[in-house]
Amino acid sequence: MNLRSIFVTFTLILSSNAFVPTHIQYPIKTRTQSKISTRVGRSRIEQRLFLTPDALSLDVTTLPTHLFTLSTLPTHLSASLPTPVLSAFAAYFHYLGLFLVVASLITERLLIKPDMNESDFDTAANADILYGISGTVVLVSGYFRATEFGKGWEFYAHEPIFWVKMLLFSVMGAASFFPTTKIIQRAITKKNAQDAGEELPNPWSPALIKRLTSIINAELLAVSSIPLAATLMSRGVGYAENFPWYAGAAPSFLVVGGLGYKYIKEALDWKEPNQ
């Protein structure tokens, strides 16, 4: 092996040691994320961009492994680094899901009324299905936006208004258990009656209609407050580096568990006057 070949070989080893472990373990941050480095602790962000002493170690016995790792470097980087396209799609589905949630709730609110007919009920039931799907899209896309894109989890975890937004989303989701349960109950009863050739179930009572509309109004109030919380959050209002994330997450879990149980139990225990 001549001198030029030795030089190229050791250059490859250095490259594989220096760049592969560092970039795979600590993905390069976006420009937006770098702007908050002074807020979340400059050392936490900058340590992801510099080489550690271990990354510069040389071990000739592991040359084949290093060369193979280096040959697959573009694949690793493309899989681990967030791209503008992926970030754009995550934002798109997040906003689209939120719009569909609002549209579904408005549809249910307009159709669930004392004089609603079977066609209105079927449309409201379909809107409730769309509501559940849209809410799931918002939750999943929001997870990826918070952990992979945007300002990064280090920012959101210490932003109290982010957890206020999560609390509003939890209230909206837990409250929806009551309308969804009543819609499912009547849809099953209606389907069984149609299959048996029997008379369709009676329309909902005015008391149940009033209860359903009041809960849907609360859901609309919660979802309309989310954009305000999001705009304040994105500007760092209330940010505190020492704010523990679990203090923000706990209320959301309690709301989902507590209110969710309350509304499901209320829906199952509800008795119509004609039953």
Total-model pTM: 0.69
Q: 142-154, pLDDT tens digit by residue?
A: 999 998 887 889 8
CB proximity list for 80: less than 8 A, separation 6 or greater:
23, 24, 27
**pLDDT value, residue 82:** 55
CB proximity list for 205: less than 8 A, separation 6 or greater:
272, 273, 274
Among 19-33, 134-148, 193-207, 241-255, the minimum mean pLDDT is found in 19-33
Indicate the pLDDT class of residue 275, thresholds 50, 70 and 90: low
Q: 246-268, pLDDT tens digit by residue?
A: 999 999 999 999 999 999 999 99
Question: How far from the centroid of its chain's Cα atoms is residue 24's Cα?
Answer: 24
* Domain parsing of the chain, residue ranges: 3-80, 84-269
Q: 71-127, pLDDT tens digit by residue?
A: 444 444 445 545 788 889 999 999 999 999 999 999 999 999 998 999 999 999 999
Give 38-46's long-range contacts (Cβ < 8 A, gap of 24+). Answer: 39/155, 39/236, 39/239, 39/241, 40/152, 40/154, 40/155, 40/158, 40/241, 41/154, 41/241, 44/154, 45/154
